[in-house]
């Protein structure tokens, strides 16, 4: 995965080091010469460093943002993060943009524009990484300083025996709670006897880092083998 990071301060350098260490291709953009010199000394030479303004189309071009799977703007200035993320989406077609938000009152504006706005550095790293392992999970918000997350997941057709199983049969751990289930135009509150169907969109609250567990359970991998032979329909 190719991740372009705007902002080479503490947050940006942390993300660059972490993601590169996990085998991802990373580039960092920053307009401060002293930061660029520091990053050149501290980071792997495999990480591309681009000196320029992340709100400038030319700097984004030099960084190869058009090839990025994820664009993350993590400067301490919310307005710069908003502009650079919008450029990445609209001018370069990056499908996934993530922004650091310093002021909680600005989060609504970011979300309204389709930008994932996160205030916790650790959660930003997890959010980018989860795209590889969870894929179809959408994180909506982070709560309690990144300890909790509200996520949404669609049950795919052909999921591993999950279609037709009840919530009770999933054996959900205590740190995962199903909040709602959308089926077509219908909004349901999932109960133990509620059966799941392909195409359902499930909203859940989980502890940070447990989203992949939820994905496995909703794909049937957490169901005891002895129960896989039974079919249930309806809600």
What are the pLDDT digits (tens) for 65-123? 999 999 999 999 999 999 999 999 999 999 999 998 888 778 778 888 888 887 655 55
Contacts of residue 221, Cβ cutoff 8 Å, sequence gap at least 6: 160
Cα separation, 3 vs 219, in Å, equals 28
Classify 78 as helix, strand or coil: helix
- pTM, two decimals, is 0.57
* Of 170, 188, 190, 187, nearest in space to 178 by CA: 190
Q: Quick one: 98 exposed, middle or buried, by C-beta within 10 A (0-12, 13-18, 19+)?
A: buried
**pLDDT tens column, 221-230:** 443 333 333 3
All CATH 3.30.70.1450 domain ranges in the chain, comma separated? 148-227
Using CA atoms, how far apart are residues 82 and 77, in angstroms rounded to an integer?
9
Measured CA to CA in angstroms, residue 98 lies from 86, 131, 139 at distances of 10, 12, 11
Which residue intervals of the chain bear CATH 3.40.50.720?
A: 2-133
Q: Which CATH architecture fits 2-133?
A: 3-Layer(aba) Sandwich (3.40)
Residue with tokens 């990144």: 146
Structure-model confidence comparison of residues 169 and 36, the more confident one: 36
In this predicted structure, the answer to whether residue 147 has a pLDDT above a threshold of 80 is: no
CA distance 137 to 202: 10
- State residue 136's pLDDT score: 46
> How far is it, in rounded angstroms, from Cα 60 to Cα 159?
39
Phi, psi of 195 (to 5 degrees): -95, 145
Alpha-carbon distances of 99 from 93, 127, 147, rounded to whole Å? 16, 11, 18
CB of 32 closer than 8 Å to CB of 54: no
For domain 148-227, the CATH class is alpha beta
């Amino acid at each position: 995965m190719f991740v372009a990071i705007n902002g080479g301060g503490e947050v940006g350098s942390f993300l660059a080091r972490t993601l590169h260490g996990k085998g991802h291709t990373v580039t960092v953009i920053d307009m401060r010469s002293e930061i660029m010199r520091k990053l050149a000394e501290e980071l792997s030479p495999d990480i591309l460093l681009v000196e320029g303004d992340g709100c400038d189309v030319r700097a984004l071009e030099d960084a190869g943002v058009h090839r990025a799977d994820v664009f993350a703007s993590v400067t301490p200035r919310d307005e710069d993060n908003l502009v650079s993320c919008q450029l990445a989406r609209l001018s370069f077609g990056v499908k996934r943009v993530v922004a650091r938000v310093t002021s909680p009152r600005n989060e609504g504006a970011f979300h309204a524009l389709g930008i994932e706005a996160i205030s916790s550095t650790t959660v930003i790293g997890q959010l980018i990484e989860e795209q590889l392992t969870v894929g179809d999970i959408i994180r909506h918000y982070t709560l309690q300083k990144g300890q909790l997350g509200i996520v949404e997941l669609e049950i795919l057709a052909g999921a591993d025996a999950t279609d037709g199983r009840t919530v009770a049969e999933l054996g959900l751990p205590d740190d995962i709670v199903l909040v709602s289930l959308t089926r077509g135009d219908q909004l349901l509150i999932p109960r133990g006897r509620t059966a799941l169907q392909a195409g359902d969109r499930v909203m859940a609250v989980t502890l940070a880092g447990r989203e992949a567990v939820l994905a496995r359970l909703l794909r049937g991998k957490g169901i005891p083998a002895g129960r896989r032979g039974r079919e249930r329909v309806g809600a």
